[in-house]
Amino acid sequence: MKHETFNKVMDEIIYHKPRVVVLYHGGEPFLNPNLLNMIRTVKDAKVPKTKLNTNGMLVDDLRGIVKSGLDFIVFSIDGRTPHENNDIRTGSNYAKVRNTIQNLVRIKKEMECDHPHITIVNVQMPTKVELETPTHNAPDFLLRDFKGLDVELKMNRAIYWAGLDLKHSGFFLNDSTKTNNHCATSTETITIRWNGDVVPCCLDIQNWCVMGNIFEHRLEEIWRNDNYNRLRESLFNMEFLPLCENCHFVRVGRYLMQTNGANIRTTPSDHNQSNDW
Ligand code: SF4
């Protein structure tokens, strides 16, 4: 996001006193060389909480992150083994991300700061049998490497993102039994993209439903415009737009599943892990 767009976003949102600003939408926030300045600007504007998600591969200035005042940092580490993580997350290196998180914990201690709160989100693609298992445990490699550290481990099932082509992928969507006619994101949050486009939620990473653009209209006008009304009406009437059709907020319990032998590639050394991945 360009500086000009960020300033415009701040001008628009600050008036509405947001409780949380998440500096992330689908991409990698640490690609932005101004990220820490942006966090400081949001904190200086007295926004209570700031948060971001990262793949952890470009998180270098750990003291700078603590000093910026960032409240929550979420690292994405997926799969059941380091190999599976590196395979699913192209370009990721589990050992590097693990070291970064462990160092951040140490630096927070040295600086006597309790922020940012560190979470690791681990997404797994369940088989049908596993989906019926009520508990979803953290994988052994995360339990081992973050044992005793001030790091929260959060497990998620893989969800469908609008635009995913499942044909020949080895993945499918399970049937969900309950349908909702409301999603809180359409009434409580707002997502502004890098170019000022406003989309309904963080799941719209391909601009399927652009509600408006903050360079053309004020945020409050967009929030009440016909596009937003149509979206909320479609949700209420359960006549879902393509963006929402397979969303787990309205198709409760709908997850991305893998058929036996789907294209998660693993190697025999998955079963013989060392600490050096
Ligand atoms: S139901 Fe639609 S608007 Fe709501 S979170 Fe899902 S995709 Fe977004």
| Residue range 157-207, pLDDT digits in tens | 888 888 888 887 788 888 877 899 989 999 999 999 999 999 999 999 889
Output the pLDDT for position 239: 95
Mean pLDDT of 8-22: 94
Output the pLDDT for position 134: 59
pLDDT band of residue 277 (cuts 50, 70, 90) is: very low
CA-202 nearest atom, ligand 1: 8
Cα 249 to middle of ligand 1, angstroms: 7
Ligand 1 contact, 203 CB (< 6 A): yes
- On whether the CB atoms of residues 107 and 62 are closer than 8 A, the answer is yes
- β-strand partners of 198: 192, 212
CA distance 184 to 115: 27
pLDDT band of residue 266 (cuts 50, 70, 90) is: very low
Alpha helices in 120-264 (DSSP H): 128-131, 140-145, 185-188, 219-223, 226-236
What's the gap between Cα 11 and its chain centre? 25
Cα 95 to middle of ligand 1, angstroms: 34
pTM: 0.89
Task: Give the CA dihedral 192, 197, 200, 205, nearest 10 degrees.
Answer: -90
CA distance 191 to 176: 27
**CA angle at residue 221 from 219 to 222, to 5 degrees?**
65
Q: Which residues of 13-52 are buried (b: 16+ CB within 10 A; e: fewer)?
A: beeeebeebbbbbeebbbebeebbebbbbbbeeebebbbb
Ligand 1 contact, 201 CB (< 6 A): yes
Ligand 1 contact, 240 CB (< 6 A): no
> Above 50 in pLDDT, residue 18?
yes
**Dmax of the chain from CA atoms?**
57
Q: β-pairing, 256-258 with 171-173?
A: antiparallel
